[in-house]
């Protein structure tokens, strides 16, 4: 059965590295949602300006469409997407009944310590605070979300995700 999985969390939570490690484990294609941003959004973030909800709308719609197309073609995909607000997750859920979310959860201090050690094409560490301010952590009414602590190694995180009942 084809599946559509969003690895969600703030910048630096490990969405890309976990997605790349998880994809072959569950026979899925990994897609970095960052690569689906418009040039306008990339330029805005690169200049240190957080995106607005309006900025994110086309991006979220494109991510939903890509996931929908994979499932329609019988292939599974994992897309790294911050999905910080419940309204963003709800938009992604539209016409995507098979969509599941994995929330990569970590503290500000842990993620900040990781993010300052890496280089990212347009996500400076100064935007991390705004991401935490925007983050609406999934609540119990979002039953298609599994929360995984990133306070462990990559193999352990991948193993925990692979064992969840949300992964076919």
Q: Mean of the per-residue pLDDT values for the chain?
A: 90
pLDDT tens-place string over residues 2-15:
899 999 999 889 99
Tally of CA atoms within 13 A in the half-sphere of 90 that contains its CB: 6
Q: Is residue 91 part of a domain?
A: yes
pLDDT at 76: 94
pLDDT at 124: 54
Q: Is residue 142 part of a domain?
A: yes
Walk across the sheet containing 77-80 and list its strands. 29-32, 77-80, 4-8, 99-105, 145-149
Q: Is residue 167 part of a domain?
A: no
- Decide if 142 contacts 47 (C-beta within 8 A): no
- Decide if 83 contacts 147 (C-beta within 8 A): no
Alpha helices in 47-120 (DSSP H): 53-72, 86-93, 108-115
> What range does the domain containing 75 cover?
4-162
- Counting as low any pLDDT under 50, the low residues of the chain are 122
Q: Is residue 168 part of a domain?
A: no
pLDDT at 77: 97
Domains in the chain: how many in total?
1
Q: Is residue 64 part of a domain?
A: yes
Q: What is the CATH number of the domain that holds 100?
A: 3.40.50.300
Q: Is residue 65 part of a domain?
A: yes
pLDDT at 123: 52
């Amino acid at each position: 059965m084809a599946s559509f999985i969003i690895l969600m969390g703030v910048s630096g939570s490990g969405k890309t590295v976990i997605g790349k490690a998880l994809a072959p484990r569950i026979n899925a294609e990994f897609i970095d949602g960052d690569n689906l941003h418009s040039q306008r959004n990339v330029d805005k973030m690169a200049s240190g300006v957080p995106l607005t909800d309006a900025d994110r709308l086309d991006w979220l719609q494109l991510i939903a469409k890509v996931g929908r197309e994979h499932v329609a073609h019988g292939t599974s995909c994992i897309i790294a997407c911050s999905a910080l607000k419940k309204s963003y997750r709800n938009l992604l859920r539209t016409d995507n009944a098979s969509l599941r979310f994995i929330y990569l959860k970590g503290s500000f201090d842990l993620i900040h310590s990781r993010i300052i050690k890496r280089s990212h094409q347009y996500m400076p560490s100064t935007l991390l605070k705004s991401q935490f301010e925007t983050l609406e952590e999934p609540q119990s009414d979002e039953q298609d979300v599994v929360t995984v602590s990133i306070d462990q190694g990559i193999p352990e995180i991948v193993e925990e995700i692979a064992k969840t009942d949300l992964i076919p």
